[in-house]
Amino acid sequence: MSKVDKHILLRHHEIPDIANIKTYQADGGFETFRKVVSTKMDPVELKNIVHDSGLRGRGGAGFPTGLKWKFVDDNNWPHYLVVNADESEPGTFKDREIMEKNPWQFFEGIMVSAYAISANDIYIYLRGEFWELAHVLDEQIELMKKEGLLGKNLFGTEYELNIFTHLGAGAYICGEETALLESLEGKMGQPRVRPPFPPAVGLYAKPTVVNNVETLANVSLIVEKGANWYRKFGTEKSAGTKVFSLSGRVKNPGNYELPLGTPFRELIYEHGGGIIDDRPIKGIMAAGASSSIIVADDKALDTPMDYESVPDVGAQLGSASVIILDDTVDMSWLINKTTHFFKHESCGKCTPCREGAFWMTSLTERIRSKKGTMEDVILLEDVAKNIKGKTLCALGEFSTEAVLSAIERFPDDFDAQVNK
């Protein structure tokens, strides 16, 4: 049995040498995969275990993983598992640490998951910037082939499994699962119109599950230890632990794996060591640049970080990339940064996002350079509202979150910038 102490995913904190395959195997590593394949476990049973564990997608949407797997169309073959390692949300750097520091658990997780959806081929889509990491993964895949963990006739059965890495080349939008699939097919990364969703029509028009790295890294331990074991962590509706990427104006930025439902205060002040120079905290962006800005009052700081509670303070948990803002941060500066990002990353397919991000950036530029008036702020709000809810994918929606919340919740920052 694998030893699990404080961390389920960032286990290199307890087992520093876990990136060595021998160390991982000595801890019971790959036994779950071996058992699942060699005993010809029923994939339906595996889907049920993951469904019952309450595991939800860690890429941002929080969609129940087991349910996604159950949507896979069993009348259309082959099936594909595509691992979303495009980690590009500003403020997110967790998948990288999981793959770098605990790679074999990541691999075992995706291998068990592939078996569960009856897939023989896995593509790991990594953002192009993870060039060095992708080359390490390629070497590790070769090693697993030699160890008899990948290839044909695994453990004397008919099951075959292959893993391929695929490097993106710098496009935030490819984290959106249908844009990712387009990119993997050799096209521009532009989202598809849905439905159909990938479990019905995915890669090469075949049933495909796209899951985030962190999500899948949980799977082998959930299968080994059972759904109830996983449910002991976190809250009833947000089961398990989550890797929180903490950045911005804190003393100790980094990844912290904590049970879902841990309050913001604990993450920021205990683990993060508090604010730089002990200044007052002003705002929190819980879901990276895609986040509404939470006013960091006592109520917010005591809010549990889980999928249900964060909306109570007017934001989403998303990928849990928690960016901390202190009293030195001017919100008109901040939204100039975020609109610039979304303008750059809009794929250009649908008009409200393509044009809207452009106009929002121009307006925030004008406001920042002190040439704006209150009318510009009102116009900016109007443009944002006309993007929201009118785009093909979530990128357009995300581009408005910081803008609208900044104007509504931090009006003084705009008053100070504009000409009366």
- Residue 162 bridge partners (DSSP): 121
Using rule CB under 8 A, residue 199 touches other proteins: no
Question: Contact 186/204 with Cβ under 8 angstroms?
Answer: no
Using rule CB under 8 A, residue 151 touches other proteins: no
Q: Which is nearer to other proteins, 50 or 323 (CB)?
A: 323
Using rule CB under 8 A, residue 360 touches other proteins: no
Q: How far is the CB of 129 from other proteins (least distance, A)?
A: 5
Using rule CB under 8 A, residue 323 touches other proteins: yes
Burial (CB count <10 Å: 0-12, 13-18, 19+), residue 178: buried
Using rule CB under 8 A, residue 255 touches other proteins: yes
Q: Which stretch binds other proteins (CB under 8 A): 227-235, 323-331, 359-367, 405-413?
A: 323-331
Contact flags string 78-117 toward other proteins, x per CB under 8 A:
---------xxxxxxx-xx---------------------
Helix (H/G/I), strand (E/B), else coil: 241: strand
Using rule CB under 8 A, residue 128 touches other proteins: yes
Q: Which is nearer to other proteins, 241 or 247 (CB)?
A: 247
> What dihedral do alpha carbons 93, 95, 101, 106 form, nearest 10°?
180
> What dihedral do alpha carbons 267, 272, 275, 281 form, nearest 10°?
-20
Q: How far is the CB of 45 from other proteins (least distance, A)?
A: 29
Q: Which is nearer to other proteins, 128 or 314 (CB)?
A: 128
Tokens of 409: 């919740």
Residue of 329, 387, 392, 395 that binds other proteins (CB under 8 A): 329
Compute φ and ψ for 32, nearest 5 degrees: -65, -45
Instruction: Report the interhelical angle of 103-116 vs 131-146 (nearest 10°).
Output: 70
Tokens of 39: 């005993």
Q: Which is nearer to other proteins, 30 or 130 (CB)?
A: 130
Report how many residues bind other proteins under the rule CB under 8 A.
Answer: 54
Q: Which is nearer to other proteins, 306 or 326 (CB)?
A: 326
Using rule CB under 8 A, residue 64 touches other proteins: no
Using rule CB under 8 A, residue 129 touches other proteins: yes
- Residue 80 bridge partners (DSSP): 121, 208
Q: Of 127, 124, 99, 104, whose CA–CA distance to 114 is shortest? A: 124
Using rule CB under 8 A, residue 191 touches other proteins: no
Using rule CB under 8 A, residue 327 touches other proteins: no
Q: How far is CA 142 from CA 36, 109, 136, 145, 172, in A?
A: 22, 17, 10, 5, 29
Q: Which is nearer to other proteins, 303 or 338 (CB)?
A: 338
Chain positions 156 to 185 lying near other proteins, rule: CB under 8 A, are: 164, 166-172, 183-185
Write out the H or E segment, with its range, that includes residue 81. strand 79-85
Q: How far is the CB of 216 from other proteins (least distance, A)?
A: 18
Tokens of 298: 């006592």
Using rule CB under 8 A, residue 289 touches other proteins: yes
Compute φ and ψ for 171, nearest 5 degrees: -155, 110
Q: How far is the CB of 386 from other proteins (least distance, A)?
A: 24
Chain positions 2 to 31 lying near other proteins, rule: CB under 8 A, are: none
Compute φ and ψ for 176, nearest 5 degrees: -75, 130
Using rule CB under 8 A, residue 345 touches other proteins: yes
Q: How far is CA 3 from CA 50, 150, 164, 223, 332, in A?
A: 20, 24, 29, 14, 48
Q: How far is the CB of 19 from other proteins (least distance, A)?
A: 17
Using rule CB under 8 A, residue 189 touches other proteins: yes
Using rule CB under 8 A, residue 283 touches other proteins: no
Q: How far is CA 125 from CA 37, 84, 85, 344, in A?
A: 25, 6, 5, 21
Q: Of 23, 35, 173, 9, whose CA–CA distance to 94 is shortest? A: 9
Q: How far is the CB of 14 from other proteins (least distance, A)?
A: 20
Residue of 254, 263, 274, 314 that binds other proteins (CB under 8 A): 254
In angstroms, the CA 261 to CA 306 distance is 5
Instruction: Report the interhelical angle of 331-345 vs 394-409 (nearest 10°).
Output: 170
Q: Which stretch binds other proteins (CB under 8 A): 152-160, 207-215, 244-252, 364-372?
A: 244-252
Using rule CB under 8 A, residue 126 touches other proteins: no
Residues at the contact surface with other proteins, assessed by CB under 8 A: 87-93, 95-96, 127-132, 135, 164, 166-172, 183-189, 204, 245-249, 253-255, 288-289, 321, 323-325, 329, 334, 337-338, 341, 344-345, 347
